[in-house]
Amino acid sequence: MSNLLNQRLALLDSTAHRPLLEQGLRGIERETLRVDVQGHLSQQAHPASLGATLTHPQITTDYAEALLEFITPAEPDIASALDKLDKIHRFAYSKLGDEMLWSQSMPCPLPDEKDIAIAWYGTSHIGMIKHVYRRGLALRYGKSMQCIAGIHYNYSLSEDIWKLLQQAENTPGDSMTMQSESYIAMIRNFKRYSWLLMYLFGASPALTTSFLRGRPHQLETLSADTLYLPYATSLRMSDLGYQNNAQDGLVPPYNSLMEYMRSLSIAVRKPYPDYEKIGTKIDGEWVQINTNVLQIENEFYATIRPKRVIRSGERPIEALCARGVQYVEVRCMDVNPFDPLGINLETSRFLDAFLLFCALEDSPLTNEAEGAENTANFALAVKEGRRPGLTLHNQGEAITLQSWGLALLDKIAPVAALLDKQRGNNEYTHSMQVQKDKLLDSELTPSARVLREIRHENGSFAQFALKQSSQLAAQFRARPLDAEDQAYFEQLASQSLAEQTEMETSQSGTFEEFITDYRSRTSSQICCDN
């Protein structure tokens, strides 16, 4: 354990400072496809009884009309967020009729691309630009890839912790700068060690053969309808899932917030020849916001992002420029098909300890060589993570995944112990032991369990996933909300529909004017151009 980590843990381990550990915020965004009883993608519009996807704070859609996204409020304790996520699921099931939620990250057998409906957000200008953005994603990457689902884990520390560390370590600059650069340092460490999360929690070692639409691949055949890799942990996070050649080398090593923002600012302005050939309109219809490397900042695919809550009409980079980093969004977590919510408390407790370790541990500046090493380690973990004796590289030195993982857990252990000390229980330490057991026996990992269950279902991913989804649906339907909670969600739905109607009836100007103004603001990221 580094001296810096020791010093910071000692500083926080006092009666005065320990309560700060419980003052950060946690939130979860869970994506899930709506499917029918046969496990086919729903062709039905988003149920109006769930509310308006444009304005509902907790229930929306991601890419496809059938790809639901459930968003919890940010909570000091992740257990509270998980409880609210559970209630969102139960409310959704009260409105889904015969449909159910797909329990996997990798999609159900999909129809032809033309039959995958892009999410619709109504006729307001802001709703239309969200739809046009998704049309652009379809042209750039295809619709099938956009139907992959994941868990996004939002995490922040109390701002008072950053102020405490700044004072104790005599860090120059204002508190906003110190906080922002500390989150960027945290991201550097996350990039170094996130391969461990894929080994421990990856749950997508197989997919339906039809998902690849005939594309070349190096997967093995498990059955007539299923492809897999025998030691894979997360094909979702491999080059078969989210990838985009146009984004290669887009963001340089994370050494400062300014570097990150400048790279994104350039990317939303830099034309990309293949997209220019398509144009922004086809037959008079908008098909993408622009023809640049990125239409908007959120198109940048990353395993983790620095974030700031945006104000109405504000772009993400504008928010970061003006007010700095507020939290990080971890985007590499698979949906665990054995957890009704796709993630459980035990996993979340480990994530908290892991992320706090990344935040407090020394984080030297990085370079392109280390960035390439980090990328290679991550790629090996998602495709071959359970291969016996798999070797990764740490600062150029070969080391087995198992031995490095165990060493990392030893470093994280004091962080978990401190979190337990503040809460007065042993939940974090227990989760650490569960993860250690997985490193000692790969058969305990979710990806290994998924493969075993698929083999029990005639080697069919779709058959296993349908069975699992049906079982989870029955569990949720057997636990309806009480009258008070049901009324709360009914009110949210009704209010969101009214808000969308108000937006559509009160807006002024044309969509052409709106999108022109939106695009013009892309080129004026003043704090990134200095």
Q: Specify the 3-state DSSP secondary structure of 398.
A: strand
Q: Outline where 142-236 has alpha helix (H).
A: 159-169, 175-193, 195-201
Q: Are 34 and 483 in contact (CB under 8 A)?
A: no
Question: Would the pLDDT of 461 be above 80?
Answer: yes
Q: What is the pLDDT of residue 267?
A: 87
Work out the pLDDT band at 239, boundaries 50, 70, 90: confident
Q: What is the pLDDT of residue 517?
A: 86
Q: Are 188 and 305 in contact (CB under 8 A)?
A: no
CA distance 194 to 392: 12
Question: Would the pLDDT of 173 be above 80?
Answer: yes
Question: Would the pLDDT of 249 be above 70?
Answer: no
Give tens-digit pLDDT for 478-515. Answer: 999 999 999 999 999 999 999 999 999 999 999 999 99
Q: What is the pLDDT of residue 242?
A: 52
Give tens-digit pLDDT for 19-78. Answer: 999 999 999 999 999 999 999 999 999 999 999 999 999 999 999 999 999 999 999 999
What lies within 8 Å, CB to CB, of 191 at 6+ separation is: 254, 303, 304, 366, 371, 374
Q: Specify the 3-state DSSP secondary structure of 32.
A: strand
Considering the chain, what percentage of its residues have pLDDT values greater than 90? 87
CA distance 99 to 53: 18
Question: Would the pLDDT of 110 be above 70?
Answer: yes
Tokens of 505: 């009836």
CA distance 68 to 101: 9
Which long-range contacts (C-beta less than 8 Å, at least 24 apart) are formed by 429-434? Answer: 430/346, 430/349, 431/346, 431/347, 431/349, 431/350, 431/353, 432/350, 432/353, 434/346, 434/350
Q: Are 298 and 315 in contact (CB under 8 A)?
A: no
**Chain-centre distance of CA 107, in angstroms?**
16
How many other C-beta atoms lie within 10 A of the C-beta of residue 526? 9
Taking the alpha carbons of 116, 118, 120, 121 in that order, is the dihedral positive or negative? positive
pTM: 0.96
Question: Would the pLDDT of 310 be above 90?
Answer: no
Work out the pLDDT band at 244, boundaries 50, 70, 90: low
**Chain-centre distance of CA 252, in angstroms?**
21
CA distance 25 to 313: 24
Length of the chain in residues, anyone? 530
Q: Are 345 and 79 in contact (CB under 8 A)?
A: yes
How many other C-beta atoms lie within 10 A of the C-beta of residue 489? 23
Q: What is the pLDDT of residue 253?
A: 75
More confident: 24 or 249: 24
Question: Would the pLDDT of 241 be above 70?
Answer: no
What lies within 8 Å, CB to CB, of 443 at 6+ separation is: 449
- What mean pLDDT is predicted for residues 442-460? 98
Question: Would the pLDDT of 140 be above 60?
Answer: yes
CA distance 344 to 338: 10
CA distance 444 to 237: 20
Lowest mean pLDDT segment, chosen from 61-65, 83-87, 247-251, 373-377:
247-251
Q: Are 480 and 94 in contact (CB under 8 A)?
A: yes
More confident: 442 or 525: 442
Q: Specify the 3-state DSSP secondary structure of 392.
A: strand
Q: What is the pLDDT of residue 530?
A: 45
Lowest mean pLDDT segment, chosen from 3-7, 13-17, 363-367, 515-519:
515-519
Tokens of 255: 């050494």
CA distance 169 to 78: 29
For 463-529, the three-class secondary structure string (H helix, E strand, C coil) is: HHHHHHHHHHHHHHHCCCCCHHHHHHHHHHHHHHHHHHHHHHHHCCCCHHHHHHHHHHHHCCCHHHC
Question: Would the pLDDT of 314 be above 80?
Answer: no
Q: How far is CA 511 from CA 55, 311, 515, in A?
A: 19, 21, 6
Mean pLDDT, the chain, integer: 94
Question: Would the pLDDT of 526 be above 60?
Answer: no
Q: What is the pLDDT of residue 311?
A: 82
Q: What is the pLDDT of residue 7?
A: 97
Instruction: Just give the CATH number of 3-528.
Output: 3.30.590.20
Give tens-digit pLDDT for 339-393. Answer: 999 999 999 999 999 999 999 999 999 999 999 999 999 999 999 999 999 999 9
Question: How buried is residue 345: exposed, middle or buried, by Cβ count under 10 Å (0-12/13-18/19+)?
Answer: middle
Q: Which helix (H) or strand (E) holds 155?
A: strand 151-155
Q: What is the pLDDT of residue 21?
A: 96
